[in-house]
């Protein structure tokens, strides 16, 4: 399985080229130039006269094996042409095997124009370089038929191929996306590291078997070897789908495990708001009633019955005020889906708490005049809360901005940060939370927009 860089499906040629950094384009020029230089060097060191028909047949076999790649993560993809490329390296030497790799490494996304011509040429060139390096390493140490030395040297050549291939792709992907090289390498595998290593060794060993079959039976031996390569590709396709399902289940389980915690936290906050409302509004009125009642008691004990007529209205007034305030608290709890305090005050309290707990600066700009239905206010609160929690826990931001305002006849809620950002085309662990936010926005006919890129922070905007 050779690994190479790929674009995102659905991109046009222009948008793909715009997404490539200057450093990456210079790196592409360097790799293509290095490949040509190594071919010239190989032609001088290893005299070989390739037969055009044979060269074309091998290139076709390689193209068939790797025509439809397997996605391995956020960009790099795997092609199942490694056994055939290694076999060519063991049989023909650096020059011809490099030419076979250059001609035969075909990606269907080249036809669909989903990757730029420069990246397609880079994919072919870096594969050609890795195959030539493997061929040179094998040719210096062993020949076909020298068992058990041949397979041992072949595995060593496989290590050379993989090292060169992964180093070039990982560094190029890092230049193109701005992500660390270690993350690019981690994305270029399926399943666990042990499973992936065993799979690579098996396909590498298949390469020496194909080479031996060609040495004994000619092209018919290569044709027979295509079947196990295709079978192996189907196994990897199913394994890739299984990994994707397992990852989705793991992400959903992780997200669901926090639901109870969030519900408990929201209930705790609501209880605190109810306690504050009772303390600040109702309790003060009840205390006033108590004081007035004590005055009446003193009037009775002292026999000042005439003063009762003056003091009794104050007690009645204080009691009525307490009842009215208590009624307002109850009405607020029944009418506001997010509690007595309402949307603006609840978000303000939550944002301040997140700031105090995390130490991250939270800049709050909330228009107190914004009002909507209880259902919409609840959704705005839930989405803003989710975005705030994600920014605090995952973005490594220094500042978070929270704003709610009216703009051109619509309500705009925005949460932005100056953190590390992420690639929206690969949500992985954020998939469940983002999907839930989108579903909530659709429930109230709102538009949810999430803008982010690695190293450029994140903006979540809700409008309706």
Q: What is the pLDDT of residues 216-225, one digit of tens each?
A: 887 777 777 6
Q: pLDDT at residue 89 above 70? A: yes
Distance CA 85, CA 1 (A): 9
Q: What is the pLDDT confidence band of residue 279, given thresholds at 50, 70 and 90?
A: low
Number of continuous H segments (helices) and E segments (strands) in the chain: 17, 8
CB of 57 within 8 A of CB of 147?
A: no
69: left (phi over 0), alpha (psi -120 to 50) or beta: beta
Q: Which of 70-79, 150-159, 275-284, 316-325 has the highest mean pLDDT?
A: 150-159
Q: pLDDT at residue 18 above 50? A: no
Distance CA 6, CA 74 (A): 9
Domain positions in the chain are: 2-257, 259-335, 337-464
CB of 35 within 8 A of CB of 98?
A: yes
- Please give the residue that has the higher pLDDT: either 87 or 192: 87
CB of 175 within 8 A of CB of 190?
A: no
Give the CATH architecture of domain 2-257: Orthogonal Bundle (1.10)
Q: Which residue has the tokens 């020298």?
A: 146
**Beta-sheet pairing, 70-71 with 2-4:** unpaired
337-464 and 2-257 share a CATH fold: no
Q: pLDDT at residue 401 above 90? A: yes
CB of 378 within 8 A of CB of 396?
A: no
Distance CA 221, CA 210 (A): 7
Q: pLDDT at residue 340 above 60? A: no
Of the chain, the percentage scoring pLDDT greater than 90 comes to 5
- The CATH number of 337-464 is 3.30.565.10
Average pLDDT, the chain: 76
Element (H, E) at 405: strand 399-407
Q: What is the pLDDT confidence band of residue 428, given thresholds at 50, 70 and 90?
A: low
Q: pLDDT at residue 13 above 80? A: no
Among 195-199, 218-222, 253-257, 412-416, the minimum mean pLDDT is found in: 253-257
Among 21-25, 289-293, 431-435, the minimum mean pLDDT is found in: 431-435
Distance CA 268, CA 183 (A): 39
Q: pLDDT at residue 30 above 60? A: yes
Of the chain, the percentage scoring pLDDT greater than 70 comes to 71
**pLDDT at residue 34, as a whole number:** 92
**pLDDT at residue 415, as a whole number:** 92
**Beta-sheet pairing, 399-407 with 361-366:** parallel
Q: What is the pLDDT of residues 160-211, one digit of tens each?
A: 888 898 888 888 888 877 778 777 777 666 556 776 777 777 777 888 888 8
Q: What is the mean pLDDT of residues 388-414?
A: 86
DSSP 75: S
How many CA atoms, within 13 angstroms, populate the side-chain half-sphere of residue 237?
10
Q: Outline where 93-218 has alpha helix (H).
A: 94-104, 108-111, 117-141, 149-177, 181-187, 193-217
Q: pLDDT at residue 400 above 80? A: yes
Q: What is the mean pLDDT of residues 296-315?
A: 75
**pLDDT at residue 210, as a whole number:** 84
Q: What is the mean pLDDT of residues 63-78?
A: 57
Listed residue (109, 119, 202, 192) closest to 155, CA to CA: 202
Listed residue (129, 130, 157, 131) closest to 142, CA to CA: 157
Distance CA 88, CA 227 (A): 17
């Amino acid at each position: 399985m050779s690994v190479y860089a790929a674009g995102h499906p659905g991109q046009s040629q222009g948008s793909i080229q715009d997404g490539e950094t200057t450093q990456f384009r210079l790196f592409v020029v360097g790799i293509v130039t290095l490949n040509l230089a190594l071919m010239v060097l190989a032609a001088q060191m290893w005299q070989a006269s390739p037969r055009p028909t044979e060269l074309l047949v091998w290139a076709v076999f390689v193209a068939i094996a790797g025509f439809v790649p397997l996605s391995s993560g956020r960009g790099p993809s795997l092609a199942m042409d490694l056994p055939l490329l290694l076999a060519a390296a063991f049989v023909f030497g650096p020059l011809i095997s490099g030419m076979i790799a250059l001609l035969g490494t075909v990606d269907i996304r080249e036809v669909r124009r989903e990757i730029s011509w420069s990246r397609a040429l880079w994919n072919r060139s870096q594969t050609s370089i890795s195959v030539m390096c493997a061929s040179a390493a094998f040719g210096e140490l062993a020949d076909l038929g020298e068992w058990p030395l041949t397979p041992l040297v072949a595995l060593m050549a496989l290590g050379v191929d993989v090292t060169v291939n992964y180093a070039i792709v990982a560094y190029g992907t890092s230049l193109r996306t701005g992500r660390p090289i270690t993350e690019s390498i981690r994305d270029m595998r399926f399943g666990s590291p042990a499973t992936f290593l065993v799979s690579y060794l098996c396909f590498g060993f298949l390469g020496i078997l194909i080479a031996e079959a060609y040495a004994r039976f000619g092209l018919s031996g290569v044709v027979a070897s295509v079947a196990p390569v295709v079978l192996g590709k189907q196994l990897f396709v199913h394994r890739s789908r299984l990994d994707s399902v397992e990852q989705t289940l793991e992400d959903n389980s992780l997200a669901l495990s926090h639901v109870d915690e969030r519900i408990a936290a929201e209930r705790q906050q609501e209880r605190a708001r109810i306690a504050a409302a009772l303390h600040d509004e109702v309790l003060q009125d009840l205390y006033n009633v108590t004081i007035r009642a004590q005055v009446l008691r003193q009037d009775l004990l002292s026999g000042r019955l005439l003063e009762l007529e003056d003091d009794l209205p104050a007690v009645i007034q204080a009691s009525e005020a307490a009842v009215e305030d208590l009624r307002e608290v109850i009405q607020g709890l029944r009418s506001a889906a997010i509690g007595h305090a309402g949307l603006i005050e609840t978000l303000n309290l939550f944002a301040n708490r997140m700031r105090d707990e995390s130490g991250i600066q939270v800049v709050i700009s909330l228009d107190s005049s914004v009002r909507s239905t209880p259902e919409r206010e609840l959704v705005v609160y839930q989405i803003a809360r989710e975005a705030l929690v994600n920014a605090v826990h995952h973005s490594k931001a220094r500042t978070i901005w929270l704003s709610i305002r009216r703009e051109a006849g619509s309500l705009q809620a925005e949460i932005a940060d100056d953190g590390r950002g992420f690639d929206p085309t690969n949500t992985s662990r954020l998939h469940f939370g983002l999907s839930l936010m989108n579903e909530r926005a659709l429930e109230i006919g709102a538009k949810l927009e999430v803008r982010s890129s690695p190293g450029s922070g994140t903006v979540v905007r809700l409008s309706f």
